[in-house]
Amino acid sequence: MGKYILKRLLLIIPMLIGISFILFVVMHIAPGDPTSVKYGLNPDISESARSNFNKIYGLDRPVLVQYATWLRRFFFLDFGDSFMDGRPVISKIMSRLPATLLLQASSFLVIFCVALPIGIISAVRRGGLFDRTMTVAVFIGYALPAFWLALLLIFFLGFKLQLFPVSGMVPWYAVYIGGFARAGDLLWHLVLPVFATAFGGVAALSRYSRSSMIEAMGQNYVLTARAKGLSERRVILVHALRNALLPIITIMGLTLPGLISGSFIFETIFAWPGMGRLGYEAIMNYDYPVVMGVAVISTFLTLLGIFLSDIAYAAADPRIRYETRRT
């Protein structure tokens, strides 16, 4: 098992390099460049100032050479400095990472804690009122564009009813209130962004856990469990659920890329001071070093998540215990 973990962990490095290469090339192929934004709109900027900028940042060299330079620094976790304000990219990202992780982790938790019970209850009471209601709700959930839902939430719950704050994470008054109140306020600010980010995931995962659960409940070992005289509760929550969870673990790992790419949109909509919004602004400004930094960190988080879900799977399924075998 230890060997397997190490192998999988090491595998992340080449994957990260490959993906970073693709990202780098795509970013440079995309129309526009830093000088056209920063200086292009200003008619007073001379051609020589422009080429001077390109030279300083090495943008005049071939893309492959630029990538090689980038890669070399990357091994020392040096992502360069931002074009916009000259601050090191890594410190810009690190200051934004906690907010993103908080939002992602909350969404992840909400997805799991909401979707799983919905899936289980729907499966157990298949065809019942709850199941049918949820089927319709999930259908709507799939059909609604999540960003539009986010705007609706902001409009109705935020502006009209004034129930939740619509933007930001820590308001100006936070420094004046006590620890518990501040935590409560933070939770309060989390409600709408989490709702919007988790919505699609809840819809998908609840469907998935429903079908996984239905399949498990039709298995012979569930019949055996009933024939032993176990309570229905135990049959469902122990025998069926433990097996149904196996594919769900994999799916949970696969929801991560969606969550992270969603963070670009939702952090911008809700003015959440996270890495996604940083990335969005960087893209808008052709701030290449920041774009690369954010993209690589996001990729790393995604790969790490998938790795963790694989480990969880291996731990949960006794049939996949690598090498070490207890007797």
**Residues of the shown chain interacting with other proteins in the complex, contacts defined by CB under 8 A:** 219-221, 223-232, 234, 238-239, 242-243, 246, 316-319, 326-327
Least Cα distance to 56 among 83, 20, 23 occurs for: 83
Give the Cα separation of 66 and 59 in Å (integer).
7
Give the Cα separation of 151 and 160 in Å (integer).
12
Q: Find the shortest distance in angstroms from Cβ 307 to other proteins.
A: 22
**What stretches of 151-208 adopt beta strand conformation (E)?**
none
Q: Find the shortest distance in angstroms from Cβ 214 to other proteins.
A: 11
Residue type, 231: S
For residues 148 and 221, which CB has a smaller minimum distance to other proteins in the complex? 221
For residues 118 and 245, which CB has a smaller minimum distance to other proteins in the complex? 245
Q: Find the shortest distance in angstroms from Cβ 125 to other proteins.
A: 12
Q: Find the shortest distance in angstroms from Cβ 108 to other proteins.
A: 23
Give the Cα separation of 92 and 79 in Å (integer).
10
For residues 160 and 319, which CB has a smaller minimum distance to other proteins in the complex? 319
> What token pair was written down for 208?
């998935």
- The length of the chain in residues reads 327
- State phi, psi for 81 to the nearest 5 degrees: -110, 150
- CA dist 252 to 96, 232, 239, 247, 302, Å? 24, 27, 21, 9, 11
Q: Find the shortest distance in angstroms from Cβ 319 to other proteins.
A: 5
Helix (H) or strand (E) holding 234: helix 232-234
For residues 9 and 320, which CB has a smaller minimum distance to other proteins in the complex? 320
The three-class DSSP label of residue 81 is strand
Radius of gyration of the chain from its Cα atoms, rounded to whole angstroms: 24
Q: Find the shortest distance in angstroms from Cβ 23 to other proteins.
A: 39
Q: Find the shortest distance in angstroms from Cβ 318 to other proteins.
A: 4
Give the Cα separation of 151 and 167 in Å (integer).
11
For residues 167 and 250, which CB has a smaller minimum distance to other proteins in the complex? 250
Q: Find the shortest distance in angstroms from Cβ 224 to other proteins.
A: 5
For residues 175 and 227, which CB has a smaller minimum distance to other proteins in the complex? 227
For residues 160 and 326, which CB has a smaller minimum distance to other proteins in the complex? 326
For residues 204 and 225, which CB has a smaller minimum distance to other proteins in the complex? 225
Angle 218-223-226 from CA coordinates, rounded to 5°: 130
Bridge partners of 187?
none
CB 198 within 8 A of CB 111: yes
Cα of first residue to Cα of last residue in the chain, in angstroms, is 15
